[in-house]
A and B are shown apart, each in its own frame.
Chain A
Amino acid sequence: MTEIAVGPTGKLMRRDVVKALLENRDGMLAIGGLGAPAWDITAAGDSPLNLPLWGGMGGAAVMGLGLALAQPERKVCVITGDGEMLMGVGSLATVAVQRPRNLSIVVLDNEHYGETGMQETHTKHGVDLVMMAKGAGIADSRLVRTAEELLKLRADIHAGNGPLFAQVKIDEGTQPLVLPPREASILQARMREAIMGPEAHLQ
């Protein structure tokens, strides 16, 4: 099992968090929100089961919803950032109303817009995404600060008792770029093929 280190701020290191969540994933599909979460899921090991986003800011959670509704037998984990989640925060209500058991939304919260010069996000100033998710109706919404809490989160994600929302406080330090393929039609087609086989291309 991946060791989950803490950074200089005493918060969890994002790459370790994502690697732990995706380890022994058993076919779990992952959507990575644009920016650092997309690099994080790629650093954990690029795979057709990964859909790293190069755009669509604010849409990651509902992309996960559409995928989870289409593939109810598969786990779907959306891993995104605090800025991306804040832009589409109404989607928590849309997800909650649909109650997809196989969907988890994990926000890697470094309290900054990391790709644009580390400007502070609202979470730096007390905005509580867990409370917003709870208020939207996602009963299992939790704050994760420690390695122990993260391992519990991992177990619950893999158990499939969603919908589940987690805000994981992470160290704000920037990690080396690990870029996924940028040709988005390939990213889409490879995940479809991983799920449905070659028939996917004849749909």
Chain B
Amino acid sequence: MFPANAQEDDMQREQLESAPTAAEAWPDQIYDLLKQHGVRQVGLVPDAGHARLIKRCLADNDMKVVSLTTEEEGVALAFGAWLGGEKSVLLMQSSGVGNIINMLSVAIAHRTPCPIIVTMRGDFGEFNPFQVPMGNATQACLEAMGTLVKRADRPEDVADTVNATLRLAFNTYRPTATLLGQRLLGAKTFGK
């Protein structure tokens, strides 16, 4: 089944990427928290749910945004940054969690602060079957590898949850993660 026209194509693409609407404030709240905590390096593999936050970070000359070829590079980057005295954050989609599992041992063994902000797929009204296995296993996999996981499914919970994840990482020296639920990110538009 192919879209008949450009408008329909746009609608389908929006469904596939489950992008949040521009009006939502929580990406800006996350950016403000990164600034408050003094985060200087931002490693990322893009996700539609992080699009606004990524734009904010790219526009900030005090942040070094490092686009990665695979999420596991982000854990390595966090370690290197901390060795040199800089705080970092890793932005990714839940499917990327499968790519970082072994590299988390670097942060655990060295006791490196490694906060991760994960936008969820395969979580709430998913459209793509390939997203479901990893999405369903994201929290269990992270926790099995010693990562402290918090979850936000409502816009009003995002700032506090991300703040807790950043504080836990930088104050207690370990990998931590906030999962931003697909319900928050706008997968509800699938239910038409």
* B131 close to A (CB within 8 Å): no
Q: Which residues of A contact B110 (CB under 8 A)?
A: 184-185, 187-188
Bound-complex Cα distance A74 to B69 (A): 25
Q: Which residues of A contact B106 (CB under 8 A)?
A: 53, 55-56, 59, 63
Counted as pairs of residues, one from A and one from B, with CB atoms less than 8 Å apart, the total is 123
- Which of chain B's residues has its CB closest to A200's CB? B85
Interface size class of A (residues with CB under 8 A): 35 or more
A70 partner, pick from B76, B81, B105, beta carbons under 8 A: B81
Q: Which residues of B contact A192 (CB under 8 A)?
A: 82-83, 85
Question: Are A70 and B111 neighbours in the complex by a CB distance under 8 Å?
Answer: no
Question: Are A203 and B85 neighbours in the complex by a CB distance under 8 Å?
Answer: yes
* A118 close to B (CB within 8 Å): no
Asked whether A91 and B66 contact (CB < 8 A) given A59-B75, A70-B84, the answer is no
* A113 close to B (CB within 8 Å): no
Question: Are A55 and B109 neighbours in the complex by a CB distance under 8 Å?
Answer: yes
Asked whether A59 and B85 contact (CB < 8 A) given A67-B80, A94-B66, A185-B111, the answer is no
* A17 close to B (CB within 8 Å): no
Q: Which residues of A contact B88 (CB under 8 A)?
A: 66
A69 partner, pick from B66, B70, B75, B111, beta carbons under 8 A: B66
Question: Are B77 and A65 neighbours in the complex by a CB distance under 8 Å?
Answer: yes
* B72 close to A (CB within 8 Å): yes
Q: Which residues of A contact B64 (CB under 8 A)?
A: 69, 98
A64 partner, pick from B68, B72, B80, B109, beta carbons under 8 A: B80
Asked whether A62 and B73 contact (CB < 8 A) given A67-B84, A70-B81, the answer is yes
Contact with A along B24-67 (1 / 0, CB 8 A): 00000000000000001100000000000000000000001011
Bound-complex Cα distance A1 to B120 (A): 55
* A97 close to B (CB within 8 Å): yes
* B103 close to A (CB within 8 Å): yes
Bound-complex Cα distance A105 to B86 (A): 21
Question: Are B109 and A67 neighbours in the complex by a CB distance under 8 Å?
Answer: no
Question: Are B69 and A55 neighbours in the complex by a CB distance under 8 Å?
Answer: no
Question: Are A59 and B66 neighbours in the complex by a CB distance under 8 Å?
Answer: no
Question: Are A63 and B111 neighbours in the complex by a CB distance under 8 Å?
Answer: no
Q: Which residues of B contact A63 (CB under 8 A)?
A: 76-77, 79-80, 83, 106
Residues of B participating in the A interface, judged by any CB pair closer than 8 Å: 40-41, 64, 66-70, 72-73, 75-86, 88, 102-103, 105-106, 109-112
Q: List 17 A-B contacts (CB under 8 A).
A: A29-B83, A31-B80, A53-B106, A56-B105, A62-B76, A63-B76, A63-B80, A69-B41, A69-B81, A69-B86, A88-B73, A90-B70, A185-B110, A185-B111, A188-B82, A196-B85, A200-B85
A65-B66, A69-B80 given; 15 more Cβ-contact pairs under 8 Å: A55-B105, A55-B106, A55-B109, A56-B79, A62-B76, A63-B83, A66-B81, A66-B88, A69-B66, A70-B41, A90-B70, A184-B110, A187-B110, A188-B79, A192-B82
